[in-house]
Structures are given as structure tokens and as C-alpha cells.
Amino acid sequence: MSLSSRQHFLASFFRTSAAPDSNVTVTNRTRTLAEALALGILCYLLARPVAHLDSAGTLAAIAWPAPAVVIAILWPMPPRRWPIHLLAMFIAIAATGDFSSTSWRSDLGFCVLNVLEVALCAWLGRRYVDADGAIVTTASLMRFLLLLPLAAIGATSMLGATLASDLGHDGWWREWRTLFVGNGVAVLVLVPAVLAWRARLATAANNANNARNAEPLIALACSLAVVALLVAAAALQVSEQVQRAVVSLLLAGIAIYGGLAAAATTVATAAVFGVGLTLMRLGPYRYENAESAWHLQIDMAGLAILTFFVAVAVRERRQLALRLERARRMESLGLLAGGVAHDFKNILAAVDGYAEIARDRLAADSAARKPLREVQAASARGYELTEEILLAARRGDRVRESLDLMSIVRESIALARPLCRNGVVIEFEPADGRLFVAAHGNQLVRAVLNLASNASLAARSRVVLRAGSAPSMTEALAVGDVPPGAIAWVDVEDDGPGIPAEHLQHLFEPFFSVRAKGGGSGLGLAIVAGVACEHQGGVAIATGPGGTRFRLVLPLLTKAPAASEQSFEPAEPIGHGERVMLIDADPESRERCEDWLAEMGFEPLGYADADEALDEAAHTDDEPALVLAADSLPANDIAFAARVVVLNRPIEREALARAAATALKDLP
């Protein structure tokens, strides 16, 4: 078999199944049966050479890699495909037993126990560690260590020890220690390595660009280096302490410079080769008694845990460095684009405000009202454009209200469906209940709409939006920070070819686009990142040959609001001649706000700064009922008014009316 043929065979064997299609049901079933048969043959080949090792030395459980390998293979598979593979494993392991008149009960019991161990470990890993088998964060590594080598293997080892002691073997404690340590070490050193290479082979078979990736060569070179070191240590009869120190340094260097996949592969190679040398009575761990085997197990477990934690910590540090570099680029862009857009937004607010004042002063049948409406419409379009630039620069409006995330997603889907190209459908899988978040509605709609639009362009035929909640965030974020406590999330998933690895670190950069010239501005995902960060959330990405999933994460409100705030537009004047002092350095904005306050029934007094207002107040006995000030003025230092309200720029009419009514306790 050629190298290319072997690669495609292995990729087909390790690859998870795609979404079922009624037109290829027979093909999928045939492939599943072929995979199960291949798995059975692999289990038999791995189990047969060590099936009759003396378990008293505890090496049989270490050298038996079949259960650990099957755990890694089943882990990313949908559970509905597990039964046929577990049956194939049961038959393969049973074929290695004697099933004599005296041993058939123990052989059958341990076959069932191995199947139970594999199913339990695969389910725990898929449910609580990572559904795709990616152990790439410190949190996921901790969950892997606690749930699989400790909890799952510890529980199944209790059953095995009980079975062995009932059949007249060694004492229960000795049997439990043998099974727990042996199988736990096998799972610890082999599962991460097989998971890493399973993902690598599945990706390489579907993405030709990964052919130039140096990761396989690094892993091979590191494994050969460890093998050479172990052989040299055995030939020179190096002591356990010296060998442990040298191997630790080598594995730490591999974890730092080679990456997690190379580290996991090297650890597995060192473990398998170390066991082989020990069985041949070579090296410092000569197989002479149970004590030497015990030392080997402890060293293997310790080196594996150390190496994995170093590799994961280095990876997280590099990811943090990339995020920091991206944040610096975004900040530099924000200083330029954000500042210009903010000033332009103020100008548009003035244009829109004066157009509204002029329109209100005209007669209802005036011919000038229509041009003024066009002016306001153009201002609104310019306002939306500046909002996009501000969001991309992460300098958007910070005003929040309690919103139902389901309504946001439904509104976004309604806007996205007309934009889909022919042949692509958008589906929605809602959460069981309502999900309330503190958000700016328009910004959140724009973010979900951008994700749905991008997914429809990348999809072959289907885009699925899902929403839900979780007690905490367990997945690593590509941009943003993990919200503390409970989260609400929106998934936007397509069935396209996936995103190339070289594009992932640039996805959220402004003006980055892989479409043809004129096919996009490159602001879509930058706006999503800006909205997520402004809402104290983030975005996670999962991509592969079967599609891409973007997950927008937001903090979940633990208590639902009593009622959503509605637009405040009083039908009658809310003022009754009260004196309202307005402090605003911008003369146009100040004049516009004075007109609005007069229309609301107040007597406005406009000042350019707080000092001027203080001087005026010192020469009059008529104290104002309210002081309204722009956010850039030190209005909090004004102590002569009963109420002081600071408004954010640009000041809008609705915000002005709500602030005045709330401060004077006239809000209905």
C-alpha cells in the first residue's frame, strides 16, 4: 500500500461521521461496518501479544493499549455509532482469552469490564472535557485527569478487583491497585496522543494546505530522540534518577517548542518503549519484581502530567500573546477611525436634530417637510455607518437594557434569510426558555446578522442557529474574555469546507477578507468582536472539514426583568415652567437641547461651562430645579442644585426627556 493510500485509509478510519443524508444511508452504514471491523482487528493486534502477561507485576495493564486507543477513537464519534464499535471490541478482546472450563467466567467478566471502561471514559470525555476531543486548555486537561484516569478507571477497577478476588486471585486491594494504576497510566499516556493524531489525520485528508505543516516531522524527530535516549540509558546502565532527570528535561523542551501533539506523541512513545525495555529486562526498570514495575508506572504518570501541563500552558500563553497583539492593532485602528467617527457622529446628530426642529415648526402641509425627512433619513444612514466603525473599533454605545436573546436571534434570522444565496437555508433551534441579557439591541442584532450572513456565504446548503445557556464557559475564546458565572450563547454553524488554519488568527482584524475584491469590506467579524467585547463576552470558533461554528457568548442575567423598557415619548409636556440649567460646551448641541427643553415645558438656561453657571447662580436667589450637563463637564461639583444629571454625548431628545422626567420623579 502506498503512503498516500495508507494516509487516506487512516484518515477514513479515524474521521468522525458527517451529518446523515438519506441519499447515502447505505454507504454510511457500509463505512460504519468497515470502521467497526477495522477497530476489531486493531484491538486484537494490540491485545494479543500481552494477553497472557503475568499480571502480578502489573505490566500487563500498561502494555495492553487496546482500551485506551478505543477510548480515543470513540470519543469524538456521535454516541449513536458506539454500539457496533463496542461490539467489535468485545469480540476482539474475547478472541484473546482462553475461555477454558476454569477461566471462562473471568475472561467473560473482564471482556465486559473493558467495554464498560471504554464506554464510560468516552462518554465522560465527550460530555465534560470536550466534544471534539481537543484537550488544549488547562481547564480541559484538569477535567481529563480527574474524570478519566482517576474517577472512571478508579470505579471500573473496583469492579475488576471484586471480580478477581471472587475468582481466588490476590487480595482485593492488590488487585485494585494493579488495575487502577496500570489502566490509569495507559489512558493517561495514550489517549491524548491518539486524539491529537486522529484530529491531525482527519484534517490532513481534507485540507491539502496542511501537507506543508511541520508538526508530524517534529513529533517523529522528538520520538526518535527519546527512543535513542532510552536505548543509550539501557546500554550504559544509567540509574533511575539520572534517566528520570534527563527524560524530564527533554520532554519539557518538546512541550515548549514542539506543541501539544508532539508532546503527547513523544510521551506515548517513551511509555511504550520503556515498557518494552522493562519486559526485556533492560534499562533501570528491570522486570524483576513488582516494585520495579511500580517505579516505572509512577515515573510514566509523573512525566506525562508534567509534559501535558507545560505544553498546554505554553499554548495558552501563545494564544494570549496573539490576542494581545490583535488588541493592540485594534486599539491603534480605534484611535484613528474611532475618533473621526465619533466626531462625525456628533455632526450628524446636530444635522438630524435641527432637521427635526425645523420639521416640527413647519405646517403639516408644508412642501419643505418631505426634503427634511430625506435629510433625516440620510443622517440615519450616516449614523449607522459611524456605528459600524465605532463597533469595529470597540467604542460603541455602552447603554444597555434587559433583552430576550431569543427575540434578538429571531430578528437577525428574519433579516438574514433574504440575503442568502440560492440553495442555502437558515434553520433555528431555540432554547427551552427565555434568555435575558444586558445588551444594546441594535448592536446585538447586527452581530448575529453578520455571523449568519458570513455562514450563508460559506455554507454548502445549510446554516443552523442555536441558542442556549450554561452554568459557566468551558470553551476557549478566540476573542474577548470569559464571562464570570452563567452564560448565554448563540451558535451559528454552517456545513462549508471550514476555515484554513492560517486565516484563523486574522479573522477578527478590521478589513481582513478572503473574498474577491469588492466582495466584502472586512468589517463583519471585526464588528462581531467589538460587540462581544463591549458586552463583556467573547466569540469561540470550532472549524473543520465538516463546517464552522461561531459561538457568541454573553453574560446571562440570573433574574428576568419585570418589563422591558419602552421608548419614552411623553404625550404631554412633562415640565411646568421649572428652571433647568443646561451645561454644554458645544453651542449647537446646547441650542438644540434648549429648544427641546422648552417644548417639554421647562425654562432652559444654557451655559458653556460650569464656572459660568456657578457665577450666574451666585447672583440669583432662584435656584434651578435641575442641572443637565454633558459628560465632559465637571457637573458633579455643582452643589447648588437639587438634582444633577450627567448626559452622554451626543445628547438625544429621548435621553434628555427621560433624564429630566426621572430626575424630577415625574416618570409614569
At 57-66, the pLDDT tens digits run: 434 444 468 8
Q: What is the mean pLDDT of residues 315-336?
A: 74
Cα Rg of the chain, angstroms: 33
At position 631, the amino acid (one-letter code) is D
Q: Find, among 430, 492, 491, 488, the residue nearest to 456 by Cα.
A: 492
Q: What is the mean pLDDT of residues 631-648?
A: 56
Chain mean position to CA 647: 36
Contacts of 662 by beta carbon, 8 Å cutoff, 6+ apart? 645
Strand partners, 544: 547
Q: Are 354 and 589 in contact (CB under 8 A)?
A: no
Residues 452 and 548: their CA atoms lie apart, in Å, by: 12
* Selected residue with higher pLDDT from 398 and 430: 430
Residues of the chain above pLDDT 70, percent: 75
- Answer whether residue 560 shows pLDDT above 60: no
Regarding pTM above 0.75, the answer is: no
Q: Which three cell numbers stand for residue 27?
A: 454507504
pLDDT tens digits, one per residue of 159-204? 888 887 766 656 788 888 878 888 888 899 889 988 887 777 766 5
* Selected residue with higher pLDDT from 383 and 172: 172
Q: What φ, ψ does residue 438 adopt, rounded to 5°? A: -90, 110
To 5 degrees, how large is the angle CA 280–CA 281–CA 285?
A: 120
Mind listing the domains of the chain with CATH numbers? 28-208 (1.10.1760), 324-392 (1.10.287.130), 401-555 (3.30.565.10), 579-663 (3.40.50.2300)
Confidence (pLDDT) at 331? 66
Residues 329 and 392: their CA atoms lie apart, in Å, by: 12
- Answer whether residue 620 shows pLDDT above 80: no
pLDDT tens digits, one per residue of 17-43? 344 444 446 677 888 888 889 988 988
Q: Are 274 and 283 in contact (CB under 8 A)?
A: yes
pLDDT tens digits, one per residue of 505-535? 778 876 677 665 555 556 778 888 878 887 8
Q: Answer left, alpha or beta for residue 368, where phi above 0 means left and psi between -120 and 50 means alpha.
A: alpha
- Answer whether residue 123 shows pLDDT above 90: yes
pLDDT tens digits, one per residue of 145-156? 999 999 999 998
Residues 264 and 251: their CA atoms lie apart, in Å, by: 10
Q: Find, among 550, 444, 423, 551, the residue nearest to 487 by Cα.
A: 551
Q: Are 647 and 581 in contact (CB under 8 A)?
A: no
Q: Which of 463-477, 488-502, 510-524, 567-581 has the lowest mean pLDDT?
A: 510-524
Confidence (pLDDT) at 14? 38
